Structure 1
Amino acid sequence: MRPRSSGIPLWGRIAGGIAAVLAVLLVIVMFFPWDMLREPLNRYVSEKTGRKFEITRRLDVTPGWRGATIAFDGVEFANPSWAREPYLVKAQRAEFEIRLWPLLGGKVVIPRLMLVSPTMGLQLEQDGRRTWALGKDTGDVDTVPTIGLLQVDGGGVDFLAEHLGVDLHADFTFDTARGEMPLDFRVKGRYQRQTLTAQGSTGNVLQLTSAGQPPFPMEIKAVAGKTQLSAKGTVAALADLDGIDAQFQLKGQTLGDLYPLLGIALPQTSPYALSGDLRKRAKLWEVQGLKGKLGLSDIGGDMRFDQAPKTPHLSGSLRSRVMDMDDLGPLIGLPPTERAAKAVEGVEPPPSITQVKRAQKDPGRKVLPTAKLDFERLRAMNAEVQYTAEKIRNVRDVPLDRGSVHVKLVDGVLTLDPLDLGLASGKLAGAIRIDATQNPADIRASLDIRAMQLNRLIPKVETLKTSFGKLDGRINLSGRGNSVASWLGGSSGDVAAITGRGEFSNLLLEFMGLDGGEIIKFLLRGDRNVTLRCAAVAFDVSKGVMVGRSLVFDTTDTVFNASGQASLSDETMHFVVRQQPKDMSILSLRTPLVIGGTFASPSVGIEAGQLAGRGLAAVALGVINPLLALVATIETGPGVDADCKGVLADAKQPTAGAAAAGAAKAKTARQ
């Protein structure tokens, strides 16, 4: 006789058995005395990591479907023996969630970590070793845990990376009375070998890696060296500073100080104060609505800094409504002026050019900037930036009207092309190229001068009612150097300025010609202008020595011819100017003028030989008859018109040799 069937199919009985087993296991897991595993776990972790790990009071585990929540009541985890701090972490309590499936692949994923009153010692070595790598090989990045959210209730953290110049200590305090940002932090130490202090607040959770959570709020005020930062916004991930959306204010003595802090190679500048909106996604930093002051100039625009390429890339567009001439000095190695040094409130003024010269033993010895320009930074990134100044303030009697420049930096080669400046109602345009892959740097400048009004270029002459014509010219120089002075001191090429017909003050002309009779006449009757037929100032430059090729100034009254040279290396000069009047005059002491001395202390005199000859003749004739003494001062006017066509032609081309070769090389700066 067959047994009666229960009515439950086989598969149902199997499923029921599995469910029963799982229920029993769940009950066992839920009520398992996990603290019994504390000592075995201490030994296991210590063995696997090669350093002491101890749960000092109690272990508790709450299992879940995807992972488990583990709580340590008191924990001490030692650092490797090579670390400065004894503990990686020592806390009154630690609680963390851990994903189970990644453990099968040797990955430690911790979505949340909470620490109560921790002491943490994080250290990174140049060879890649780090104290938070959990394997015996602390240089193996695969043993570094992935941590999502970090909650810290008080305590402190030390971070040391000597090879990066970083040694920081942070203290945390947690107080729910602070509202949406209850976690307060204070940081002190050194960052990039500069003193750093910072303080700020965040939400109750720090998101170290992006884990699908919304960004957390954060505000910070920091001072690193002479640089001050204030920012407020949100951050998605602290580990790589990703997902930043913040408003910032930045102040400092020079933008050049940002290079060691941020890795952005910016030029030396006057003190600055900038603000804007900062956004970062992955490796791309963006600043929008940038505005503020750069010394005495205003500045605004938008910038992007992309760290994704092998060589980071900076790009953007900047503009100034008014750019002050005083702010150009630091770009070529000069300290800022006193006005520019004190232009930004809240920033300690850097030493001004006046203070620097006062501190020098021989403040007037050099005029050309000798400060070494840090061209090595140009190899740290690539860049393409457009800058426009709508108006340039006339500070030092140089009538710059406007300016624009396209800056391009590719693999250590910097070009300013085109460079376009409105100068004295005319134009100065061209290109400058600096190859920083060579040491000293290869520097080439090719600039053209077009239609500049000389009465604006030399405004003080306007007091003599002078009205000049228009000036054209060029500068083509090439050489090598790491400062403006060293480059010019060894450069070769061509420098020239020419002008056609115009007018010139006759009173000034007679002073230059030492014509006493004409001076007295004009003082009694008033000044009048004479016609300028042509003028040319052209130099062949060979290894820093400027030799006059065509130095002519021809008016309807007098023709001046000059000869001589100037040294850009030792900043000395010697020129002789010979006047040849075209009219007859009495009381004339016409004799060659001698211009000499140094750029810092020039001297102007006359050739003593010719003047002494006229003086002796006057004395001899005066013995015979006092009226005859005037005969020696009579100028018969032997001067003739210069060949203006020939003068201008000579000024247009350098002679052969180093000057011609240098000029040709300089022109290659233009693309």
Structure 2
Amino acid sequence: MSPEPVYRPNVSPTEAPPRTSILRWVLTLVLALAVVAVMGITWLTWNDWNRSRAWVSAQVSEALGRPFAIRGPLDLEWEWPQQRETTWRRWVPGPTVHAQDVLIGNPTGYEGRAPHLAHIGQVSADLALLPLLGRTIDIRRVALAEPDVRLERQKDGRDNWTLAFPKSSDRSSWSVSIGRVVLSDGRLAYDDAPRDLSLAGTLDTLAPEATDGGRYGVGFEFSGWHAKAQVRGSGKAGELLSLKDERLDFPLQLQARAGRVSATAEGVIANPRQLSGVDFKVALRGGSLADLYPLTGIVLPDTPAFATDGHLVGQLKAKQAVWDYKDFTGTIGQSDIAGEVTYTSAEARPRLSGTLRSKLVRLADLGPIVGAKSNNPDKAPRTGKVLPDDPFDTARWDKMDLDLRYTGQRIERPQAVPINSISTHAVLENGLLKLVPLDFGVAGGHFKTQVQMDPRKQPMAVSVRGDVQGLKLSSLFPKVELMKKSLGDVDGGIAVDARGASVAQMAATANGELRLYVRDGVMSQQLLDLAGLNLGSVVVSKLFGQDKEVRLRCALADIPVRDGVAHLRDVKINTDDALVDITGTANLRTEQLDMDVNPKAYELKLFSLRTPLEVKGPFAAPKVGVKPGPLVVRAAAAVAALAVAPGALVLAPITVPGASDNASCAPLLKQGSKAPKAGRPRSVDSPASAAPAKQGAARASNAPVMPAAGESSAGSR
């Protein structure tokens, strides 16, 4: 049998498998794209970009909304493979643009001191190639060599650094993204007219040994003026500043001095692009806390020299910045200070709140704060005056609100035992200052006061309410207390309204009442001399004799104050020997005393030339003398008695008037315990010579509303 025929398909020799055809087309397309890419890169590389400078400058000027010009060579080079990439992107060519002599102008219509915002000697920008397909110019790294930047802000608040990008309706417009910035051999100037601040500085790459193990890469120095104070400083910063990474902690170290204030800070800035937060260790030194206002905007009182060290944390949201100065310690004068404060930026006024505390406070350090001692070394002292005339600086009180609590565990006076303590709650709101309460623990007792100062009224309206409770006078004087002698316990109260910018002006316009009473004490020339009460020791020695100890049963001082004149309406000292009545005035405006001291013996004396005394003269140096009239009368009577009948002296002694039987301590203490009243007293009249000053005295109707003496702002005790 013949074999069966085999079927063979008829295949055209010109046909090829479909897979081979697709592969060929892909290879052809890749080859074509590669040729185009090579040709494009070749053209970009060898093209004379200097011919395109004008076009590039025009495009950038339009994008920035301000003049921009490349006045030097413009060039482009490629890096392949890219050294800074580690993934497949390493094999994507990376173009780098080089430009020299680049000028960025001020906004159109802005007339500044400098003709431009910035001049850069050389710019090198590394671009990402693939984002260009999505119309994004991604500058991964830009290096600025010899940049000279001039930042300015004018008095009307306009500045030359804010970029106002023109709005475009073209959705396909290009966007720009900037990664890291490297600076070298830079210069920076800053002029801020509203703050009267002018600074100029330099920036440069640090030597390897100065980078603190690579933490820092750039060093800077600056100097200039803030108002009339010279400003100097230096520091270190990170080498690369990321404008994209929001989690970057950019390191910064700073030392600066402006006038009497110096500061050192070291820490990090979180997200430098948004300035979302800072975390620094900060040390401050200065001649007065008030010196911080021009630099920080924080309103603080005038103080002696201060020094603090603490932890500064800030959340820098627009118009809602919050600064916390935590766990700080330091000194003000020779007093210690510690605590934590928070500064919050807000409309219409910022706010400072917190808690402060001291273990030991020297009264001398509190002097400038309460207007009792000038902090100006050039101010000449007042000759022959004792009341402080340094005005409170209230011009800034409406610039910031305040809510601070302060506690001092001990207050120390020179050459005296410590006063127990001080505590206050200071509230400053819309320019009105309240110290409610302001409590002193004094010599085993308490002096509880409430103070309100309102500079919105001119002259400034001041109100003081206070209670004195159980103050032991001897505890104020260590030499007396060592002798285990008591000068008595003091209780009482004060309610005064006044007008004025200083303590002296307030005293000169004061209206109100002061009531004090003393129980169970002793007096003698020696004790009062040891206590430093020289005027009292002279009076006691003239009344009772030198070195004689006198038992004090009680004493009362009921003193109304009208138009700056204190009237000794009812001032009595009750002893075993006599009741001493003191009358007269203390003129707080002229600082002059005019008092009479009238002793009335309880028992008939055989022969006594004890006579009323007069105390006259300035507060700084009063003089005690014997009133001549009563002394002449008694001396004449004694001489006549001796001449007529010497033996009659046994039967008819010459005496001073006897004291009234009802002048005992009970009614005195009852009167002294009455609550004083504020306002202009009607029960006394000011003498013609003590007419009110032109600025006027505070009237009760115009006085700030305050709680009654002994009450807090929330009600009675």
Report the TM range for the smaller structure's normalisation. Answer: 0.7 to 0.9
For residue 254 of structure 1, report the CA deviation from its aligned partner.
Answer: 0.6
For residue 412 of structure 1, report the CA deviation from its aligned partner.
Answer: 2.2
CA RMSD of aligned residues (A): 4.3
For residue 363 of structure 1, report the CA deviation from its aligned partner.
Answer: 2.3
- Out of 638, 650, 655, the position equivalent to 2:658 is 638
Matched, 1:223 2:257: yes
For residue 149 of structure 1, report the CA deviation from its aligned partner.
Answer: 4.5
Q: 1:455 to 1:132 in 2, by over 3 A?
A: closer
Q: In the alignment, what sits opposite 1:153?
A: 184
Q: In the alignment, what sits opposite 2:707?
A: 667
Alpha-carbon separation, structure 2, partners of 1:438 and 1:425: 38
Alpha-carbon separation, structure 2, partners of 1:431 and 1:17: 94
Q: In the alignment, what sits opposite 1:259?
A: 293
Alpha-carbon separation, structure 2, partners of 1:398 and 1:317: 27
Matched, 1:412 2:434: no
For residue 77 of structure 1, report the CA deviation from its aligned partner.
Answer: 3.0
Q: In the alignment, what sits opposite 2:103?
A: 76
Q: In the alignment, what sits opposite 1:400?
A: 419
- Out of 54, 58, 64, the position equivalent to 1:39 is 54
- Cα deviation per residue 1:323-366 (whole Å; 9 max; x = unaligned)? 11211101122446xxxxxxxxxxxxx655xx74xx34x5223x
Residues 379 and 436, structure 1, Cα contact 8 Å, conserved in 2: no
Q: In the alignment, what sits opposite 2:302?
A: 268
What secondary structure sits across from 1:117 in the alignment? strand
- Cα deviation per residue 1:16-54 (whole Å; 9 max; x = unaligned)? 999899877755664423544222223444577564622
Alpha-carbon separation, structure 1, partners of 2:158 and 2:704: 54
Q: In the alignment, what sits opposite 2:501?
A: 482
TM-score, normalised by the number of residues in structure 2: 0.77
Q: 1:528 to 1:443 in 2, by over 3 A?
A: closer
For residue 441 of structure 1, report the CA deviation from its aligned partner.
Answer: 2.9
For residue 88 of structure 1, report the CA deviation from its aligned partner.
Answer: 2.1
Matched, 1:451 2:467: no
Where in structure 2 are the equivalents of 1:568-579 lying within 5 Å? 568-579=588-599
Alpha-carbon separation, structure 1, partners of 2:590 and 2:454: 25
For residue 219 of structure 1, report the CA deviation from its aligned partner.
Answer: 1.2
- Out of 186, 200, 205, the position equivalent to 2:221 is 186
Q: 1:254 to 1:26 in 2, by over 3 A?
A: farther
Q: Which residue type is aligned with residue 666 of structure 2?
A: K
Alpha-carbon separation, structure 2, partners of 1:87 and 1:656: 64
For residue 418 of structure 1, report the CA deviation from its aligned partner.
Answer: 2.4
What secondary structure sits across from 2:57 in the alignment? helix
For residue 666 of structure 1, report the CA deviation from its aligned partner.
Answer: 4.2
Q: In the alignment, what sits opposite 2:366?
A: 328
For residue 581 of structure 1, report the CA deviation from its aligned partner.
Answer: 1.2
- Structure 1: runs of 5 or more not aligned: 138-144, 337-349
Matched, 1:301 2:328: no
Q: 1:514 to 1:198 in 2, by over 3 A?
A: closer
Q: Which residue type is aligned with residue 539 of structure 1?
A: I
Q: In the alignment, what sits opposite 1:141?
A: none
Matched, 1:166 2:201: no
- Structure 2: runs of 5 or more not aligned: 1-11, 80-88, 167-175, 529-535, 683-699
Q: In the alignment, what sits opposite 2:600?
A: 580
- Cα deviation per residue 1:179-234 (whole Å; 9 max; x = unaligned)? 22231111000235532100111121245x67425212221111101001111222
Alpha-carbon separation, structure 2, partners of 1:293 and 1:6: 93
Residues 499 and 535, structure 1, Cα contact 8 Å, conserved in 2: yes
What secondary structure sits across from 1:330 in the alignment? coil
Q: 1:330 to 1:74 in 2, by over 3 A?
A: same
- Out of 278, 294, 306, the position equivalent to 1:244 is 278
Q: Which residue type is aligned with residue 667 of structure 1?
A: P
Q: In the alignment, what sits opposite 1:175?
A: 206
- Out of 109, 114, 119, the position equivalent to 1:85 is 114
Matched, 1:312 2:334: no
Range with bigger deviation, 630-639 or 403-412? 630-639
For residue 101 of structure 1, report the CA deviation from its aligned partner.
Answer: 13
Q: In the alignment, what sits opposite 1:286?
A: 324
Alpha-carbon separation, structure 2, partners of 1:670 and 1:401: 24
Matched, 1:58 2:74: yes
What secondary structure sits across from 2:666 in the alignment? helix
- Cα deviation per residue 1:624-665 (whole Å; 9 max; x = unaligned)? 799999999943561234143333343325579624848994
Q: Which residue type is aligned with residue 592 of structure 2?
A: T
Where in structure 2 are the equivalents of 1:421-500 lying within 5 Å? 421-457=440-476, 466-500=485-519
Where in structure 2 are the equivalents of 1:504-583 lying within 5 Å? 504-505=523-524, 512=539, 519=545, 527-530=548-551, 532-583=552-603
Q: Which residue type is aligned with residue 127 of structure 1?
A: D
Alpha-carbon separation, structure 2, partners of 1:482 and 1:89: 49
For residue 307 of structure 1, report the CA deviation from its aligned partner.
Answer: 1.6
Alpha-carbon separation, structure 1, partners of 2:364 and 2:258: 26
- Cα deviation per residue 1:534-590 (whole Å; 9 max; x = unaligned)? 211121122322222321111221101112222223322322121101124456332
Residues 89 and 119, structure 1, Cα contact 8 Å, conserved in 2: yes
Range with bigger deviation, 501-510 or 540-549? 501-510
Q: Which residue type is aligned with residue 383 of structure 1?
A: L
Range with bigger deviation, 542-551 or 623-632? 623-632
Range with bigger deviation, 54-63 or 506-515? 506-515
Q: Which residue type is aligned with residue 263 of structure 1?
A: G
Q: Which residue type is aligned with residue 394 of structure 2?
A: F
Alpha-carbon separation, structure 2, partners of 1:4 and 1:269: 101
Q: In the alignment, what sits opposite 1:371?
A: 390
Where in structure 2 are the equivalents of 1:343-382 lying within 5 Å? 356=379, 359-360=380-381, 362-365=382-385, 367-382=386-401
Q: In the alignment, what sits opposite 1:94?
A: 123
Q: 1:436 to 1:308 in 2, by over 3 A?
A: same
Residues 115 and 153, structure 1, Cα contact 8 Å, conserved in 2: yes
Alpha-carbon separation, structure 2, partners of 1:506 and 1:153: 79
Q: In the alignment, what sits opposite 1:341?
A: none
What secondary structure sits across from 1:427 in the alignment? strand
Alpha-carbon separation, structure 1, partners of 2:78 and 2:289: 53
Residues 518 and 555, structure 2, Cα contact 8 Å, conserved in 1: yes
Q: In the alignment, what sits opposite 2:8?
A: none
Alpha-carbon separation, structure 1, partners of 2:240 and 2:422: 49
Alpha-carbon separation, structure 2, partners of 1:298 and 1:200: 29
Q: Which residue type is aligned with residue 57 of structure 2?
A: N
Alpha-carbon separation, structure 2, partners of 1:629 and 1:300: 73
What is the aligned length? Answer: 637
Alpha-carbon separation, structure 1, partners of 2:542 and 2:651: 14
Range with bigger deviation, 89-98 or 250-259? 89-98
Q: In the alignment, what sits opposite 1:658?
A: 680
Alpha-carbon separation, structure 2, partners of 1:648 and 1:533: 11
Q: In the alignment, what sits opposite 2:85?
A: none
Decide which structure has the larger Cα Rg and report it.
2
Range with bigger deviation, 166-175 or 407-416? 407-416
Residues 495 and 678, structure 2, Cα contact 8 Å, conserved in 1: no
Q: Which residue type is aligned with residue 52 of structure 2?
A: L
Alpha-carbon separation, structure 2, partners of 1:174 and 1:122: 22
